[in-house]
Structures are given as C-alpha cells and as structure tokens.
Amino acid sequence: MAAFDLITVSAAVAPLAAAWSVHTLLLRRRLARARLDPLTGLPVREEFQVRARQELRGLGRVVVLVDLDGFKAVNDTYGHAAGDAVLAAVGWRLRRWAADLGGSAGRLGGDEFAATAHPESVNRMPSHLRELHEVLRAPVDFRDRQIHVGASIGAFPVTDQLRPDLAAALRRADEAMYEAKRSGGGWHIAWGPIPEITTTNGRRTGRPGTTPLRGGVR
C-alpha cells in the first residue's frame, strides 16, 4: 500500500478510535454510577455484598443492619424531598462511622442500610453502636425545620468460632435489629451460634421483607 493510502486510512480510523475510547470511558462511568445509590452515594445492595464478602474473610468484623423508625411519617408529613434529605444524611453519617472503624456502608433499599466494621475489639461494639445510634438520631436540617427520625440497629460479630457466609451474618444482624425495634428502637447485638433457620436474601425465611427483600443489649 502506498504511503498516501496509509496516511488516508490512518486519518479515517483515528476519529473512530477516539470516539470508541470516549464511548468506553462513558460506559465505565455509567457502570460505576450504577453500583452506587444516586441519593446517598453508597454502594447498592449487590455492590455492598461484594465488598462485605471480601471484608468478612478477616476476623473481628461486625455486620450491622440499620432500619429507620418513623421514616414513613416524614414522607407523609413533610413530603418526599424531606425524606430524601433524611436518607442522604443517614447515608453520610453511617458511611463516616463505618469508615472510622475500618469498614464500609451500603444502602439495601428504602430506609434500610447495612455496614461492616472492624473495631479494635468486638467487646467495644456496645459503645460503638451506642455512638452510632446517637449519630443517626440527630436531627436533619431541611429548609426551615429540623426533622427527627429514630433508628433500630442490629449487629453480628464474626469471630474465629463463628465464620458464617454473608447471608447468614446478615440474617443474624437482621434478627438483632428486630429485637431492637421490638424494644422501641436502639441497638442489639446477636451473640452465639447461628440457628438452623433457612435464609432468603440474607433474611430469615418467612418474615416480612424476604420476598422480595426490603431495602443492644442497651
């Protein structure tokens, strides 16, 4: 092929290659955004589960589930914009708490969140959960008012003797969270072995929210 022809072909291909590179970059960015909740910036359920499984390979990890109390009343009283402000604030607060303890956070859906933590000792978890509960209950500024919500928190420590898969760990944290909710909010830790109960999407089968999955001892 003559040099002129090579130059002509190169000139024709270069814009296509550049366009494809831009397309690939945009596609990667879209995929990255798809793994994050657009409201809170937290990983969505699937992405959080990927990260949490990796973190649970180490010892001393704690799995945490958070369900907001009174959130529906916020939407009903102040509108969904206020509810979005609450969710965004809760997501930011949970992410910061988890990061301070060497973990990560995610939004499971609705007003349910999950996190992992790697405290210096699992014996310190009561004080860490007490701190988290206070942080999440702090009022959220929205326009000319302060909005209050409660939180029910469940935690399950992963120890050398208890090395469950993520689904089982989430189920135990879920059970602990409902213990807290039945007590009017607060936090609860699930200790001890995992009961022989079937699991659906990381929740005990048969309880509300398993089909499909919904989003302390004080």
Catalytic machinery residues: 111
- Nearest by Cα to 213 from 74, 132, 106: 106
Query: How would DSSP label each residue in 83-108?
Result: HHHHHHHHHHHHHHHHHHTT--EEEE
Rg (CA), the chain: 22
Element counts in the chain: helices (H) and strands (E): 6, 9
Q: Which helix (H) or strand (E) holds 77?
A: helix 71-78
